[in-house]
């Protein structure tokens, strides 16, 4: 049953504002309990509800704090769909951000990606998917080589994609009142649906062979 997630409390933003800049150790320790309760635990509740809607979303992690201030100022989480293929979420004073990513590839994944891009059927499919994702407001980026990879024509029609060694589609979801309500679950699910075709293409073509 849904509704374990009721939204991030408005006080979550107050805690994150206190942690801006370079917070001292004393400031971090003073904010630790409130940050856990108001920022991190709602992210866990959100992803539990997202996982309840689809078994593919069940493998998730919500990060703890680290030494760098960034990790205190941003609550990050990932939903793993396959090796190095995931949905990422980040909650901060700027609101909620989502990305679909294939990155930090395993050995062989880049070669499999390039072969699928170069293949007429799967390559055209990916080009259309990327264009559709861009039209929906996502910024498409990644680790991109300056030149086309060796073994592929320099004038290949999909040379821009062939140069990728990772592929990321990201956009902010906003910082409106819905963040403090259960509606945030539906916003995340809608954005995950935007990214589904891209991520499933990557799962089919980039993951390790069985």
Q: What is the CATH number of the domain that holds 140?
A: 3.30.930.20
Q: How far apart are CA 46 and CA 175, in angstroms?
A: 16
Q: What is the pLDDT of residue 66?
A: 83
Token pair belonging to 59:
């493998």
Considering the domain boundaries, does residue 67 fall inside one? yes
Q: Could you give the CA distance from residue 73 to residue 16 in angstroms, rounded to a whole number?
A: 6
CA 50 – CA 35 distance, rounded (Å): 22
> What pLDDT is attached to residue 1?
43
pLDDT at 3: 59
Number of domains in the chain: 1
In a domain, 4, yes or no: no
Range of the domain at 142: 11-206
In a domain, 1, yes or no: no
Is position 119 within any domain?
yes
Tens-digit pLDDT string for the chain (210 aa): 445 899 999 999 999 999 999 999 999 999 999 999 999 999 999 999 999 999 999 999 999 988 899 999 999 999 999 999 999 999 999 999 999 999 999 889 999 999 999 999 999 999 999 999 999 999 999 999 988 888 888 878 888 999 999 999 999 999 999 999 999 999 999 999 999 999 999 999 997 654
CA distance 142 to 103: 8
Residue 3 lies in a domain: no
């Amino acid at each position: 049953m849904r509704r374990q997630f009721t939204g991030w409390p408005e006080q979550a933003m107050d805690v994150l504002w206190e942690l801006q800049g370079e917070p001292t150790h004393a400031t971090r320790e003073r904010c630790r309990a409130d940050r856990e309760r108001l920022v991190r635990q709602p992210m866990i509740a959100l992803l539990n509800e997202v996982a309840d809607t689809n078994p593919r979303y069940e493998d998730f992690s919500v990060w703890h704090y680290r030494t760098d201030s960034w990790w205190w100022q941003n609550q990050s989480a990932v939903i793993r769909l396959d090796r190095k293929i995931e949905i990422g979420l980040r909650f901060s004073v700027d609101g909620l951000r989502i990305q679909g990513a294939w990155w930090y590839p395993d050995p062989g994944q880049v070669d499999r990606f390039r072969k699928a891009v170069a293949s007429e059927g799967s390559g055209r499919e990916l080009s259309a998917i990327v264009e559709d994702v861009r039209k929906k407001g996502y910024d498409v980026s990644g680790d991109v080589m300056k030149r086309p990879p060796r073994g592929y024509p320099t004038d290949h029609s999909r040379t821009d994609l062939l140069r990728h060694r990772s592929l990321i589609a990201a956009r902010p979801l906003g910082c409106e009142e819905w963040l403090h309500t259960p509606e945030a679950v539906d916003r995340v699910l809608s954005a995950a649906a935007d990214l589904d075709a891209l991520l499933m293409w990557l799962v089919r073509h980039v993951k390790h062979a069985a």
